[in-house]
Amino acid sequence: MKKILPILFAAASLLVSCHKSSPNDPMLYYRQWYDEVSNVNDLVLDPFNISYRLEVYLNATKAAPSRADALRQSLFGGAAIASADQKSYTITYNTLETTVTQDLNREGAITIHTYGVSLTDPGAVWTVEIPESEQFMVGMVNFGLMEIRVDDGAYRIEALSASKWKVTAVDYYMLMASNHSFALWDLMATVTQTKGAPVESDLATAEFALETLPGVPIEGSNFSRVYTRYVIESPVLYQASCGFQSKGGGKEALYLLDTSLKNTDTLTVDRGTTFVCGGPVTFTHDKTDYIYYY
C-alpha cells in the first residue's frame, strides 16, 4: 500500500483545502470524511458478514439437510453455494436484485476457506479470497456499485472464542464503478457477538461490538484519497434490527496523515454508550461540537 501514498496524499491535501472551510456548515468536510471512512470500514467487514452467514448455513443444513434451498434464500438471497471438499465454499451471487433483509446487494463470486472447522471453535481460522477475475460487486446506498478484490490469504478470520473473532484484512481493494475512484484499506479488529448466537433464529436481533486492537489502528485511503488512521476508543455497536451499516454507541477517532504518516488533523465521533438507531452522533474537532442525526 505504501508505494501509492504520494499520489494519495497529493489528492488529500487538495480535498482538505477545498472542503475544510464551508461557510454554511463548518463541519461538513469532517462529516463527509467520517461517512466515507465508516462506509469503507463496513465494506471491509462484509466478508466477515458473509462468513458468519455461511457458519449459520452449514450448522443449519447439517441438522436439517432438506432446508438447504430455503436457507440459501433467507441467508444469501438464493446465491449458489458450491464446495468440492467441504473445506472451501464458493458463494456466487447472480444478480444485485437477490437481496435479503438487513444485508447488502451483491453480484459475483466469493470463496471462503473454512478448512473443515467451525467458526465458533476457538482457534479456528477461515480465510477469504476474492480474485479480480470474479468481479465481485457490492451495492451501497451512498456509494453505488463497488468492485471488491482481496488476495487469497489476505483476509483472515480467527475465532478467539465461540462469540469473538479477530478479523484481519491487508490491502482490501474497493473500486467505485461510477467514477473509478478506489479505496485501499488495512484492518485488524475484533468482532464480538454481544447478543444472540450464530443460529438462524437469532439473526434478526443479533448485536455485535467492533473494537480495534491496542496499538494497532485501522488505516488506509478512502475514495477521496485521504489517508486515515482510525481508532475505536470504545466499542462501536452494530444491531441487525436497525439494518446493515447501522451503528449506535461507541467512540471513534480519525487521524488525517501526511506523507510521513504524521497526524495533521483529528476528528472524534461519539455515539454515546447505548445503541440508539438513527443517532445522535457528536462530531468534535478543535473543541467544536457538532451533533448530527443519522
Give residue 18's pLDDT: 35
Query: b vs e for 55-74, b when ≥16 Cβ sit within 10 Å of the residue's Cβ?
Result: bbbbbbbeeeeeeeeebbeb
What is the pLDDT at residue 151?
85
> pTM here?
0.85
Q: Per the structure, how many domains does the chain have?
A: 1
pLDDT for position 16: 37
Looking at residue 59, what is its pLDDT?
A: 95
> How is residue 264 written as a grid cell?
495533521
Distance separating alpha carbons of residues 241 and 102, to the nearest angstrom: 7
- Distance separating alpha carbons of residues 242 and 252, to the nearest angstrom: 20
CA dist., res. 268 & res. 255, Å (int) = 9
**Cα–Cα distance for residue pair 291/294, rounded to 1 Å:** 10
pLDDT by residue, tens only, the chain of 294 residues: 433 332 232 333 333 333 344 445 667 778 888 888 888 888 899 999 999 999 999 999 999 999 999 999 988 988 999 999 999 999 999 876 545 655 778 889 999 999 999 999 999 999 999 988 888 988 876 677 888 998 888 999 999 999 999 999 999 999 888 888 888 999 999 999 999 999 988 988 888 999 999 888 898 888 877 788 999 998 988 877 665 455 677 889 988 887 666 777 888 888 877 666 666 778 887 545 554 444
Q: What angle do CA 239, 245, 247 make, to 5 degrees?
A: 50
Query: Contact at 8 Å (CB) between 36 and 253?
Result: no
C-alpha cell at 203: 439473526
199 near 239, Cβ under 8 Å? Answer: no
Q: Determine the structural domain holding residue 98 and report its residue range.
A: 2-292
